[in-house]
Each structure stands twice: as C-alpha cells, then as structure tokens.
Amino acid sequence: MWRRGFGTSLSSIHTLKQKKWDALVIGGGHNGLIAASYVARGGLSVAVLERRHVIGGAAVTEEIIPGFKFSRCSYLLSLLRPSIIRELELKRHGLKLLKPIVSSFTPSLDGRYLLLGQNDEQDHLEISKFSKRDADAYFRYEAQLQKFCKFTDFLLDSHAPETLHGSPSTVDWLRDKLQRSKFWTECLWQTLSLGQKGIVDFMELFLSPTSKVLDKWFESDILKGTLAGDAVVGSMMNINTCGSGYILLHHVMGETDGDRNVWSHVEGGMGAVSLAISNAAKEAGVQIETNAEVSQLMVDDSGKANGVLLADGTRVHSSVVLSNATPYKTFMELVPQDCLSDDFLLAIKNSDYSSGTTKINVAVDKLPQFHCCKLNHPQVGPQHTATIHIGTESMEEIRLACQDAWNGLPSQRPVMEMTIPSSLDNTIAPTGKHVISLFTQYTPYKPSNGSWEDAAYRESYARRCFDLIDEYAPGFSSSVIGYDMLTPPDLEREIGLTGGNIFHGAMGLDSLFLMRPVKGWANHRTPIRGLYLCGSGCHPGGGVMGAPGRNAAHVVLKDIKKHYQ
C-alpha cells in the first residue's frame, strides 16, 4: 500500500509544467506535507515534490523483506503536536495510535529488570527493587519535567521572533515590532509562571550535562541509565556534555491523547502518519508527486525564488518555495551559490550534522524471551510492547559506548532502543512472526577501522548488536529471518539526512531557537526572497513533531497576505 497511490505520470508532469503554483514544497516528509496542508488550506495552490518513490521522508513504512513492513527510520510517535492532529483531523484520515501496555523495559544481566509505565503504584514498586529513595524521588522528577513541558509547549507552537531583514516599510516594521513584543511578553509571562525556583531549576536542566541532572535525583544505576538514553538519541553527544539535559526534556515533552511522555506505535507503521497527513493535504487540494527530484532552485534576476528545476530537466514555476530538505542540502546543493553571502554559506557549512545512529530493522520468527523476566511466555507480554533498553544498565555503559565512537570506532557494546511494533500491530508481519526495530548508537559516519561500504564490515556490526541482545534474550540471533540496516551514510543517501543526522542538524545549545539553523535566520525565511525552510533543521527542531512545517506555513501565509494588501 505504501508504494501505490502516488507517482509522477506524464499527465501530472504536464500539469506541473503548465501551471504556475502559488507554492512548491521540496520533500514529502511529514513536515513538508504538513506545511503543504496548511498553505493549501489558506487558499493557495500547492504541489509537493518528493525525490523517492514513497512519501514520508524518515516517517515511512517500507516492505523490505516480503511480508514484513518496517518503520524504516522513525519508529514511535509522541512529539506530533496535538494542534496538528486536531486541525488536520488526522484520526479521520486514518491515523491510529497503539499505546504500549508499559512504557519502558530495561533488562539486567544480574537477573533483575526495570519495568515502568503501568501506574504510579507499580512504578514505585519497580524502582524500589533497586532503591527506595529513587522510588520516592521519581515522581517529583517527573512532575518537574511536566512543569517544564508546559513552558516548552508555548515555544514549540510559536515561530521564532526574528527581526526583519532588508529595508522594511514603516508599517511592516511597526507590525513586526508589535508581533515580537507580543511573543516576548507571553514568553515572560510563561517564565514568571514557573517562579524563581522553577526558573533556576529549568536553567539547571537546560544547561547541565545529563549525568549531573540524574546524579542529583537518583542513586540506582539502572534507573539513571534508562533515563539517560533519552538524552543522547540521534546524536554524537555524551551524557557528560553540557546541554544534553535539554535533549532529555525534548524526548519527554510529547504525548499521546493527552497522556504525557507516552510513546505509541502507529498501526501500519510510521508511514501511516505520513499517509494520514497526505490524505489531509490532498483533501485541501495539494498535488503530491513522487519520483520528482529537485536538482536546483530557480532564482530570477531580482534575487527571488520563482520555482525549481527537476532532475529530468522539467521547470516548475511558483511564487514561493518551501524546502523540507536539510539546511545543508538546501543551501549548499540546491540554491545557486552566487545567490548567498560567504558568511551565510560558511555558517551553514560549519553547522554540526554529525550522527552516531544506525537503524536496524529485523524480521524474526518468534518473540525474544528475556531470561531476567519472569513474565516470559510465547505470547506477547507487557515487556514486548515497551521501549526496551539494551546496553543502558548504567550511565557508564553509555559513556563508554560514546567514547568508542569519538575514537572513530563503532561502539563495542552499542546502546540500543529495541521496539517490537508487531506486538500491538497485526498488520505489519505474518502471523506468528514479528518486526523488531533497533535504534543503535554509536556509529561514526566514517569509521577509522573500516568502511560502511564493506558488506563484511556492516555484517560484523549487525552481528555485534544481535550478540548483545542474546546476552539478555538467548536465542535472539537464531530467530532472525533477515534485516535491513541504515548507517549514517545510508541515512544521508537514501533518506536525504545530511551526515545521517535524524534532526537535520545537531540539537545542541548553539543550534536551538534563534540559532537554528543559523543566527539571524530562525523564522523560516531565508536570504533568498520567496524561499522558506519548513523542515527539522529550523525551529523548534527534530523528531516527528510537525511544528516546523506548521509554523513555516503560517509565516508563508502571513507574507503572502501582506504582499497583496
């Protein structure tokens, strides 16, 4: 189903060529589709141009092994903004979320395990197995994070209050100043609502290393290791790196149906998210084309974007262009270099696109059985529906895994998030068999001891991951029918993620809010008039969140409305 319904036929190419569109969107990832939906709902004609044969970008379902449908890159949903789900009516368009029975399962080699997310009473009992003090502190820790999430909600749903460039008219200058004043007033109110202690606690979390934050709250290694995994997802960042505490918050501020920090599976895989958004987009009048690779942005003599040139030579004209590609891809490869200043290009080029992520999608003939878990039985148990943490029994394990990668080597004992979506979704694997997702770290883009182009080298890393799982779930390796592996270079080549970075660029303190993607250009506008960024490389950042697409669309609609006034 994921390969049908979209395509670039001769008739659709003719339509693209003959019509001048109000807006073109480069890239059919979830943010691009969301931006297209909102712009079209604003009354504009919109076309989405996707390079691959399938829409979704990193939120995609693909049947790589016959009968097994993999969420090939992103694998769980929580960050997608509730306002987008509601406004685009995504549930009416087919989005169905499957909540896990428990949220987190961390097996231990000493025969114990930590199972979280059933209810407060059970969580207290689980943590008490390792530390009564931690069990009491855990709920205060969770309450503090939830308090901070209310503050970040405001930032996520607001586009960055960037100053206008060029020589705006007096009216535009006054209007912009008023809008920025409204933002900062609301921001101040939100900040003051935290109280002085809350503000200090927030800054401590925002600026501190994850290790310092968790050492302050807890004493048990397994709880700290389980929580610390959220602070390094998708990065080459160590838990001892200042600012990693924010990434910890970034990964707990999502929700499912109003329940905070619940990461759900999606029936049909993550491609079903993109499919639901595309249904909303088509209902709004958006034309979506696959196999339509953009090779260059067209810029007229006045320096304004006026369309794109496709790889096959087709010219498609439009009034504005929104790019869902990474900032590097957009400005270093698609925009003619003579249209941008050297300082801007240097800032884009020197942004951090490093990644330590390798995604392995596995087809197995039986559920893994964890020797530490007394709940084992052939059928699905609560632990199978959870996010399963492998290699995170302590923060020291995470630190050592990262150190390997900093030394140029894939981690000897990788840090893994393991999920089994077929434990809740019977549409993605044959009866009795299962799909397993392994989000693994750390794997440098260019290893010093080999190459990801070498099949034997790739196989050795996959086997290393499977062997590690065998330590916790004996017999896992023998259950593997086949697998699909995406290393950082694969993620760059196939999905378009520069450096393999799943966030379109690092989420360090120097790359957030008014600094994302670069200082001076944080409000989705770019140095090229008529060109906007709508992907994860702009504020508020990565994850299947949709906020960059929604916020970018609002900026586009405002600019177009102003143009016609």
pLDDT tens string 462-473: 999 999 999 999
Which has the closest alpha carbon to 326: 150, 491, 109, 100? 491
247 with 273, same domain: the answer is: no
**Percent of the chain whose pLDDT exceeds 70:** 96
Determine the residue type at 234: G
pLDDT tier at 70 (50, 70, 90 boundaries)?
very high
331 with 439, same domain: the answer is: no
pLDDT tier at 24 (50, 70, 90 boundaries)?
very high
Among 131-135, 190-194, 246-250, the range scoring the smallest mean pLDDT is 246-250
pLDDT digits over 283-338, tens only?
999 999 999 999 999 999 999 999 999 999 999 999 999 999 999 999 999 999 89
375 with 477, same domain: the answer is: yes
The structure tokens listed for 281 are: 């987009």
Using alpha carbons only, how large is the chain's radius of gyration in Å? 23
Q: Is 462 among the domain residues?
A: yes
pLDDT digits over 193-237, tens only?
889 998 999 998 888 899 999 999 999 999 999 999 888 888 888
State the sign of the Cα–Cα–Cα–Cα dihedral 122, 125, 131, 134: positive
H or E stretch covering 115 = strand 113-116
Which residues in 472-511 are b (16+ Cβ under 10 Å) and which e?
Answer: bbeebbebbeebbbbbbbbbbeebbbbbbbbbbbbbbbeb
pLDDT tier at 422 (50, 70, 90 boundaries)?
very high
What pLDDT was estimated at residue 237? 85
Which has the closest alpha carbon to 323: 7, 24, 100, 17? 24
Strands 357-364 and 315-323: unpaired
Query: Distance between CA atoms of 104 and 429, rounded to whole angstroms?
Result: 23
pLDDT tier at 2 (50, 70, 90 boundaries)?
very low
Q: How many domains does the chain have?
A: 3
CATH code (residue 551): 3.50.50.60
pLDDT tier at 1 (50, 70, 90 boundaries)?
very low
Whether pLDDT at 402 is above 90? yes
What pLDDT was estimated at residue 373? 80
Q: Is 18 among the domain residues?
A: yes
The gap from C-alpha 514 to its chain's centroid, in whole angstroms, comes to 19
Q: If you average pLDDT over residues 420-426, what whole number do you get? A: 97
pLDDT tier at 29 (50, 70, 90 boundaries)?
very high
Whether pLDDT at 58 is above 90? yes
540 upstream amide cis, omega within 30 of 0:
yes
Strands 104-107 and 387-390: parallel
What pLDDT was estimated at residue 13? 64
Beta bridge partners of 531: 321
Q: Which residue has the tokens 């449908």?
A: 69
Strands 255-256 and 259-260: antiparallel
Domain range spanning residue 207? 141-264
What pLDDT was estimated at residue 376? 56
Whether pLDDT at 7 is above 80? no
445 with 357, same domain: the answer is: yes
What pLDDT was estimated at residue 559? 92
Look at residue 149 and give its three-state secondary structure. Answer: helix
Whether pLDDT at 371 is above 60? yes
Determine the residue type at 134: D
388 with 490, same domain: the answer is: yes
What pLDDT was estimated at residue 407? 95
Q: Is 103 among the domain residues?
A: no
Whether pLDDT at 564 is above 60? no
Look at residue 445 and give its three-state secondary structure. Answer: coil
Q: Is 378 among the domain residues?
A: yes
316 with 434, same domain: the answer is: no
Query: Distance between CA atoms of 368 and 467, rounded to whole angstroms?
Result: 13
160 with 51, same domain: the answer is: no
Whether pLDDT at 280 is above 80? yes
Beta bridge partners of 116: 104
Q: Is 24 among the domain residues?
A: yes
Rounded to 5 degrees, what angle do the CA atoms 371, 374, 376 make? 70
Q: Is 385 among the domain residues?
A: yes
297 with 204, same domain: the answer is: no
Q: Are 429 and 435 in contact (CB under 8 A)?
A: yes
Query: Distance between CA atoms of 474 and 472, rounded to whole angstroms?
Result: 6
Q: Are 103 and 417 in contact (CB under 8 A)?
A: no
What pLDDT was estimated at residue 3? 37
231 with 290, same domain: the answer is: no
300 with 389, same domain: the answer is: no
Q: Is 2 among the domain residues?
A: no
Of 264, 288, 305, at which residue does a domain stop? 264
- Cβ neighbours of residue 170 closer than 8 Å, sequence gap 6 or more: none
pLDDT digits over 126-166, tens only?
999 999 999 999 999 988 888 888 888 888 888 889 888 87
Q: Are 227 and 146 in contact (CB under 8 A)?
A: no
Whether pLDDT at 374 is above 90? no
Of 444, 474, 495, at which residue does a domain stop? 495
Question: Which has the higher per-residue pLDDT, 98 or 254?
Answer: 98
Question: What is the overall mean pLDDT for the chain?
Answer: 92
Q: Is 437 among the domain residues?
A: yes
Of 264, 293, 321, at which residue does a domain stop? 264
234 with 276, same domain: the answer is: no
Among 32-36, 173-177, 255-259, the range scoring the smallest mean pLDDT is 255-259
Q: If you average pLDDT over residues 243-248, what whole number do you get? A: 78
376 with 490, same domain: the answer is: yes
Q: Are 42 and 284 in contact (CB under 8 A)?
A: no
Whether pLDDT at 248 is above 50? yes
- SS3 per residue for 44-66: CCEEEECCCCCCECCCCEEEEEC
Q: If you average pLDDT over residues 506-531, what whole number do you get? A: 93
Beta bridge partners of 362: 436, 483
